Structure 1
Amino acid sequence: MMLNRLPPDWQRYYAKHRTAIVTATTGLLYVVGWSLGSFADAGLVSAAILVLATIVGGYDIAKRGYYELRSRTLGIKTLVTLAAVGAVGIGAYWEAAAVVFLFSLGSYLEGRTMRKTRSALQELLEMTPDTAVVRRDGERVEIPAREVEVGEVVLVKPGGKIPVDGEVVDGESAVDQAPVTGESTPVRKTDGDEVYAGTINQDGALEVRTTGAGADTTLQRIIRRVEEAQEAQSPTESLIDRFATYYTPAILALAVGAFAVTRDAMLALTLLVIGCPGALVIGPPVSIVSAIGNAARNGVLMKGGEHLETAGKIDLVAFDKTGTLTKGETTVADVAGFGAEDDDVLRLAAIAEAKSEHHLGSAVLEAAAERVGAADSVATDGGAAVETRPSGGPAGIPDPDEFDVVPGKGVVARHDGREIVVGNRALLADRRIAVPDDVADYVREREAAGETAVHVVRDGTVVGAIALRDELREAAPEVVRALQDAGIRTVMLTGDNERTARAVAEEIDIDDYRAALLPEDKQAAIEAFREEGYVVAMVGDGINDAPSLATADVGIAMGAAGTDTAIETADMALMADELTRIPDAIALSKATRWNVYENVAIAVLTVGLLLAGVLGSVVHLAGGMLVHEGSVLLVILNGMRLLRY
């Protein structure tokens, strides 16, 4: 009632800092009461002040203890309340006030340090701009960022935060994407490039067409994932919670038994307080939350404590090749015609691939657009010209009349009455198409150089071959070596042929590789590794390798920024295409496992020593409470080390 009479600003201040104010008041009353106790004629006043300190500091504790009992659980707040009431009942006012004050102080410090462990999430929240400048009816209007509609153009000044997800439609600038992807250097953005809410525009003005705003941005999805991950319990946390369910009643029974045998109320109350599993319960969550926050700040999303703990056990990492170990930017390295002009071979392949969504098909179409796209016709029958259609594909490439994809092998198409086959040796073997020796020699030579070669067939005759190259990521050898140095086996799983796979594997010095795999073969390989006893991580793009990612103990999605599916489904998502995050994330997971073990050991050892000290009449109530709260703070500080790992 008195609080309601205070000015509104004071009420808000008290509500925000209630724990600190109650703890400070309790401490002040405790010091005054204890000081007066040294005067013989102030004993009654001292007792009254110490009881008041117990009431002020113990009210919230007793209230929470009551709710614990109502929910049929017996927790530390219930035990502290019983100990304080019992101490007052036997006239141990100093001990009662000391227990309440020390517990309040410990709770306050615990709350502050726990908030720091969630600092990464707060940093993400602060990255979200509140307003955006949009162009409406020819005018610039500043509106709340959450009210920007999809399709609207947002104007971003140099040095400003980008308020929406979108695509650059005008301007060029470097953008600091660290808040979303963890990338250490700014990324150059120009027309057609994606940008994300919360990233920082640096040196040029940008106009961005909105694809997501408010809650529907990559940054907000990251925040939701981090919140969910920090709330989710790890297996160790669940085990400790179940243990505490039985342990706490056992401590209560021990205290009652000790009193029944010794008739020493103070001994029983001391056992109640120092036997509480406070450090044991709080230690693992601090470690998990700190690690998840650290990872999020560096562009790695952990789905939760369970996957974080599992990642700490990984001893085999399987990599997809295309888009993971390589840049995923396939280009045509060479075209060779055998009985046909090189440009005619490329044009034929482009017609067959015009409806394909495969990355190799896209590379062929791009090369055709550059080399032969301006041509109005192309020989498809040893000299007979076939006119292109204005309505055709890129650069006037006509669509095939019929089109069929053979998964993992190639495509078969028909155009203007001619059959065109573009694919690997397996597809040609299936269709009983002979490969001339000179073509086979060319293909072997290109594959030995780490390229992928496809045959181009017209009406059953091989007329050429196209060599395609996907550049390795510069960090790939370094990442493989770092994992190997950590004692982790590395494997590459690819749909490419044996020679291409071997060339790439030798270049990055990977431990093992499996070639010519279909998606189901990759999944089977992951299952086989697990059956051998490995804890397996699969690294892929989050979409094409979905079965393998789901089968692995930990699925790691590359380049998940802006991809809803990867963020929501991956066990671990790398927001940028930075392979170096993988060994870092695994090392953090392993460090977290050890940190959890350290915290459990600290908690168990402290309680064990205190119990022995109480039974040996060496440890008393206030001193035991002080050591107990010290152990809680110690495990919190130990867990917080992971924030800077």
Structure 2
Amino acid sequence: MGGAKQTHSQSNSGQEQHEHRGVLGANTELIFSLLSGLLLAIGYILSLTTPELAWLSRALYWAAYFFGGFFTAKEALESIFKGHFEIDFLMLLAAIGAGFLGEWAEGALLLFLFSLGHALEHYAINKARKSIAALADIAPKTAFVQKNGQQIEVPIEELKIGDTIIVKPNSKIAADGIVVKGSSSVNQAPITGESVPVDKSPLLENQFNTQEADRIPAEHKVYSGTINGSNVLEVRVTKAANDSTLARLIKLVNESEAQKSPTQQFTDKFEKVFVPSVLALVVLLLFAFLIRDEMFADSFYRAMAVLVAASPCALAISTPSAVLSGIARAARGGVLIKGGGPLEELGQLTALAFDKTGTLTEGKPKLVEVIPYGNTDMNDLLLTTAAVEKLSDHPLAVAVVKGVQERLHAVEIEAADHLQSVTGRGVKASWKGEEVFIGNKGLFEQELSTPLPEKLMADLKQLEEGGNTTMIVRRGGVFLGLIGLMDTPKKEAGEVVIQLKEIGIKRMIMITGDNQKVADAVAHKIGLTDAWGGLLPEDKVAAIEKLKQQERKVAMVGDGVNDAPAMAKSTVGIAMGAAGSDVALETADIALMSDQLRGLPFAIGLSRKSKVIIKQNLWVSLGVTALLIPATIIGFAGIGSAVLIHEGSTLLVVFNALRLLAYKAK
């Protein structure tokens, strides 16, 4: 009885044994249970219709004992040999006691109902486990490797880092890797939960090192278990099969089941007090005949009934079954939740702190504003700027050239020459016989001692207040205008913030190293409640501590690398874009496998639903026990009715928990 929780965790975690044990295959336990019930029913009918065949009825009851008690006895003996007295042993003891009193029908009913409850419980829990086990079936078992100009099919276990695999149209990708030839759309839903296929393009071999795969942009990376689109891809393998994103995801999900939630810890402590108390009560009830006018047999029967009624079976399985189902459902939705603790904590959040770059924004600058000055033609401003910036590999320069190409489409950009950098200010170059300067206000006012026109200054101030990184462009002696770049918010960011507000998240704060003006501008566009700018990594930790003092539960959402210290200080650390990132998978309590924020409302909603179901299960399990114990003590319920209600409540909490597998975000 004291090991009730262990019995369930062992029997439920060892589903492989339950699936193929017995001479009748996976369903042997269920078949034995049903045979027990059938023999019991026939024996009971015979006892009512033909009393003269009482010996046959008794023989049928004994046969019902055998089939109903076979697996119960088997598990009880296995537990005893390990030094545990489990709930199976107690049920077996109660059935033997009923037989000792001549109540063969009631003992057979106990074993039938208990074995049927166990068989159905194993089936129900196995359904949740199969949802997790299905992850392992995502990846193909073999891959086509390109060797010496030939395609050879090999088991994925034999793939080595650096091998080139051929991925055919509409087939599963066998390993994590980098696309080196071909372009295609890849369905990443099995790993990241993204509903829309993601375009993948090749990266030339001389542009990457397989040992530095984490730094390569996502548009070139593919993951084991994802599904290729309509074109052939050649993929350079970057991770062995047992170290792929999918393999690590499966390992972490399985490990997360062993991490107990606060509610599980509470039930463990409760059982440590409850079980000895019940055992003491049962011993006292065995001697009730000494102070009551009744036979020892009556006292013994009552004690056995209380033993059955007080078994904490439903309580032991109520929380683990909900946690298991919640984690399985989250994994299917592209969210890795590392255990019951984060699953419960997530639903209690009142505030979220976000890193800016790469979390709320795209993580790279983009040309967003072009303001010609005076009579300057916009195309002239764009071409002049791109001609100079084409010579530089600075991220801002690359963003300018890309933005100009997108705006001017097929127009060819003639590069400038004689590029020179003015440190911290900008650049200068020659283009079409004229000197071009591109830079910030300091370049012109301090380096060149050239005052900016009033209108240009007004436009510059407006752009900077809007959070733009602004460049002033002058060719010859004429100012051409302004170019504004910004790390733009992700498309879904504003929509997700609205959803988070709707589900009750009171405060959403952006913490960033960018200056306060940029932080305010981005926060305003997205709809956040606060923006704290100019923060170093250590300042972010202090910001989280400050926020925790103001709010009860706080999560830090970041990329899992430079945000790791702040994540560690928060109630729950949430990593974005964890697919393919070892650091993000290891550091966060919760990992959103895709680089999209849409997983946040889903995960919080799932957590809250899990919490509701856990509470429901606790009320059912504790409520049934609280009613059954006095009912059996006063004789209102016997062994048969006690085990019927007991097993019914256990099945109820398990099937209630399984509802989480069908959870859908609102």
Alignment check: 8 A CA contact 1:312 1:589 kept: yes
Please tell me whether residue 523 in structure 1 is matched to residue 564 in structure 2. Answer: no
2:44 aligned residue: 34
> Quick one: distance in 2 between partners of 1:424 and 1:289?
58
1:19 aligned residue: 29
Q: Deviations over 1:317-337 (max 9, x none)?
A: 111111111111323556999
How far did residue 343 of structure 1 move? 10
Q: Deviations over 1:111-144 (max 9, x none)?
A: 1100111232122112110111111111111111
1:96 aligned residue: 107
Given candidates 106, 110, 116, the residue that maps to 2:121 is: 110
Alignment check: 8 A CA contact 2:347 2:607 kept: yes
Q: Deviations over 1:326-383 (max 9, x none)?
A: 1113235569999xx99999999999986xxxx668757978999999444224589x
> Quick one: distance in 2 between partners of 1:567 and 1:373?
45
Residue 239 of structure 1 aligns to which amino acid in structure 2?
A: F
**Secondary structure, in 3 states, of the residue corresponding to 2:314?**
helix
> Quick one: distance in 1 between partners of 2:658 and 2:226?
27
1:418 aligned residue: none
> Quick one: distance in 2 between partners of 1:641 and 1:449?
47
1:396 aligned residue: none
Please tell me whether residue 292 in structure 1 is matched to residue 327 in structure 2. Answer: yes
How far did residue 614 of structure 1 move? 1.6
1:377 aligned residue: 418
1:147 aligned residue: 158
Flag the 1:432–1:591 CA change in 2: closer, same or farther, 3 A.
farther
Please tell me whether residue 159 in structure 1 is matched to residue 170 in structure 2. Answer: yes
2:496 aligned residue: 479
2:585 aligned residue: 567
> Quick one: distance in 2 between partners of 1:560 and 1:282?
31
Alignment check: 8 A CA contact 1:353 1:365 kept: no
Which residues of 2 match residues 327-338 of structure 1 at below 5 A? 327-333=362-368
Residue 295 of structure 1 aligns to which amino acid in structure 2?
A: A
Which residues of 2 match residues 239-638 of structure 1 at below 5 A? 239-262=266-289, 263=296, 264-333=299-368, 363=399, 374-379=415-420, 444-453=461-470, 467-488=484-505, 489-638=507-656
How far did residue 481 of structure 1 move? 1.5
1:196 aligned residue: 223
Give the stretch that moved more between structures: 294-303 or 161-170: 161-170
Alignment check: 8 A CA contact 2:388 2:415 kept: no
Residue 22 of structure 1 aligns to which amino acid in structure 2?
A: F
Flag the 1:124–1:75 CA change in 2: closer, same or farther, 3 A.
same
Flag the 1:609–1:366 CA change in 2: closer, same or farther, 3 A.
same
Flag the 1:424–1:312 CA change in 2: closer, same or farther, 3 A.
farther
How far did residue 310 of structure 1 move? 1.1
1:186 aligned residue: 197
Given candidates 120, 135, 141, the residue that maps to 1:130 is: 141
Flag the 1:552–1:89 CA change in 2: closer, same or farther, 3 A.
same
Flag the 1:156–1:49 CA change in 2: closer, same or farther, 3 A.
same
How far did residue 276 of structure 1 move? 0.7
> Quick one: distance in 1 between partners of 2:534 and 2:402?
25
How far did residue 557 of structure 1 move? 0.7
**Secondary structure, in 3 states, of the residue corresponding to 1:212?**
coil
Alignment check: 8 A CA contact 2:387 2:415 kept: no
Residue 645 of structure 2 aligns to which amino acid in structure 1?
A: V
**Secondary structure, in 3 states, of the residue corresponding to 2:243?**
coil
How far did residue 582 of structure 1 move? 0.4
Given candidates 197, 211, 231, the residue that maps to 2:238 is: 211
Residue 472 of structure 1 aligns to which amino acid in structure 2?
A: P
Q: Deviations over 1:258-294 (max 9, x none)?
A: 2311442221111111111111111111111111111
Alignment check: 8 A CA contact 2:388 2:416 kept: no
The alignment's TM-score, normalised by the length of structure 2, stands at: 0.80
Alignment check: 8 A CA contact 1:346 1:466 kept: no
How far did residue 632 of structure 1 move? 0.6
1:392 aligned residue: none
Where structure 1 has 5 or more consecutive residues not aligned to the other structure, the ranges are 1-9, 388-421, 426-430, 457-463
1:50 aligned residue: 61
> Quick one: distance in 2 between partners of 1:81 and 1:191?
65
Residue 53 of structure 1 aligns to which amino acid in structure 2?
A: A
Q: Deviations over 1:575-621 (max 9, x none)?
A: 11221110110111111111111100011111112223223322111
2:260 aligned residue: 233
> Quick one: distance in 1 between partners of 2:599 and 2:250?
19
How far did residue 83 of structure 1 move? 0.6
Residue 289 of structure 1 aligns to which amino acid in structure 2?
A: L
Flag the 1:47–1:526 CA change in 2: closer, same or farther, 3 A.
same
Give the stretch that moved more between structures: 603-612 or 177-186: 603-612
> Quick one: distance in 2 between partners of 1:26 and 1:627?
19
Residue 535 of structure 2 aligns to which amino acid in structure 1?
A: L
> Quick one: distance in 1 between partners of 2:441 and 2:190?
43
Give the stretch that moved more between structures: 15-24 or 321-330: 15-24
**Secondary structure, in 3 states, of the residue corresponding to 2:231?**
coil
> Quick one: distance in 2 between partners of 1:109 and 1:309?
27
> Quick one: distance in 1 between partners of 2:586 and 2:471?
36
> Quick one: distance in 2 between partners of 1:125 and 1:267?
49
> Quick one: distance in 1 between partners of 2:334 and 2:490?
18
> Quick one: distance in 1 between partners of 2:413 and 2:104?
94
1:405 aligned residue: none
Residue 104 of structure 1 aligns to which amino acid in structure 2?
A: S
Alignment check: 8 A CA contact 1:270 1:614 kept: yes
Alignment check: 8 A CA contact 2:40 2:64 kept: yes
Give the stretch that moved more between structures: 193-202 or 282-291: 193-202
Q: Deviations over 1:70-93 (max 9, x none)?
A: 655543223212211211111111
> Quick one: distance in 1 between partners of 2:448 and 2:340?
54
Alignment check: 8 A CA contact 1:335 1:346 kept: no
Q: Deviations over 1:395-435 (max 9, x none)?
A: xxxxxxxxxxxxxxxxxxxxxxxxxxx9999xxxxx99999
Alignment check: 8 A CA contact 2:146 2:164 kept: yes
> Quick one: distance in 1 between partners of 2:588 and 2:396?
26
Alignment check: 8 A CA contact 1:345 1:465 kept: no
Alignment check: 8 A CA contact 2:174 2:225 kept: yes
Alignment check: 8 A CA contact 1:344 1:378 kept: no
Q: Deviations over 1:179-209 (max 9, x none)?
A: 0110111112221311111111121121211
Where structure 2 has 5 or more consecutive residues not aligned to the other structure, the ranges are 1-19, 204-219, 290-295, 374-380, 407-411, 431-438, 474-480
> Quick one: distance in 2 between partners of 1:191 and 1:150?
18
1:428 aligned residue: none
> Quick one: distance in 2 between partners of 1:589 and 1:43?
56
Residue 613 of structure 1 aligns to which amino acid in structure 2?
A: A
Flag the 1:504–1:50 CA change in 2: closer, same or farther, 3 A.
same
Flag the 1:333–1:509 CA change in 2: closer, same or farther, 3 A.
closer
> Quick one: distance in 1 between partners of 2:103 and 2:139?
54
